[in-house]
A and B are shown apart, each in its own frame.
Chain A
Amino acid sequence: DGGITQSPKYLFRKEGQNVTLSCEQNLNHDAMYWYRQDPGQGLRLIYYSQIVNDFQKGDIAEGYSVSREKKESFPLTVTSAQKNPTAFYLCASSASRQGTGNQPQHFGDGTRLSIL
């Protein structure tokens, strides 16, 4: 079945350590997104990518980095510069691209990141 796979489900980070969250989709979607969700809050956009080898900063990109070397994959690295990384991280994809109309986002099951 087509879908979005995020791994790991739970991740622990030590102080000063970089960690990478995986996101893979087999929906053949052009656009992919990373969101952060804090308890009781809505989703805040970290980065998004409309096409391979191109990505844009969202509202809270500081302390994060991404790459989009393949259409199927959009990994997120939480760097040591992100001082408050504890949150629920959601990856999404959609078939939308500029000029093709809006399509809903499909979400992965999320990765819960905590600080040791």
Chain B
Amino acid sequence: GQNIDQPTEMTATEGAIVQINCTYQTSGFNGLFWYQQHAGEAPTFLSYNVLDGLEEKGRFSSFLSRSKGYSYLLLKELQMKDSASYLCAVVDNYGQNFVFGPGTRLSVLP
């Protein structure tokens, strides 16, 4: 079966660093995406990992360990506008099916 877990909610302070974890158990693996979704809006693409290691993109970084079925999204220098839900999605072996986790709702406080 397919199972992706993320913490439901997290809270952090403006200017701080926060790490959002994602663990997965899927029938196949062909990459992992992170998306940001503000309330009532469409998800937007943040990062993609297919090999083990860290991908850095400005204030956002994403890490993948395929042997552990684990990824995290690291957000640095938090801003109020980073308050949103963060969705982890795993792509199956054929690259055709995206399986989404439940999302983590992040609240950034002043």
**A residues near B, CB below 8 A?**
31, 33, 35, 40-45, 48, 50, 56, 58, 88, 90, 96-102, 104-110
Contact = CB atoms under 8 A, between A and B. Distances in A.
B30 A42 contact: no
Majority secondary structure of chain A interface residues (helix, strand, loop or mixed) = loop
Contact of A102 (B31, B100, B103): B31
B8 to A, nearest CB: 8
A30 to B, nearest CB: 11
B48 A101 contact: no
Given A90-B42, A109-B41, A109-B42, A104 B97 contact: no
Interface in B27-58: 30-31, 33, 40-45, 48, 50
A101 B95 contact: yes
A45 B95 contact: no
B96 A31 contact: yes
B48 A102 contact: yes
B98 A33 contact: yes
Nearest to A50: B96
A35 B37 CA distance: 14
Contacts of B105: 40
A115 to B, nearest CB: 19
Contacts of A108: 42
Contacts of A42: 4, 87, 100-103
Given A45-B98, A48-B97, 8 more contacts: A41-B103, A45-B99, A98-B95, A100-B95, A102-B31, A105-B98, A109-B42, A110-B41
Contacts of B95: 96-102
A107 B87 CA distance: 13
B91 interface: yes
Nearest to B6: A42
Of all A-B residue pairs in the complex, the 7 with the closest CB atoms, nearest first, are A107-B42, A104-B45, A43-B100, A42-B102, A42-B100, A102-B31, A42-B103
14 contacts: A33-B98, A42-B87, A42-B103, A43-B43, A43-B87, A45-B97, A45-B100, A48-B97, A90-B43, A102-B33, A108-B42, A109-B42, A110-B40, A110-B41
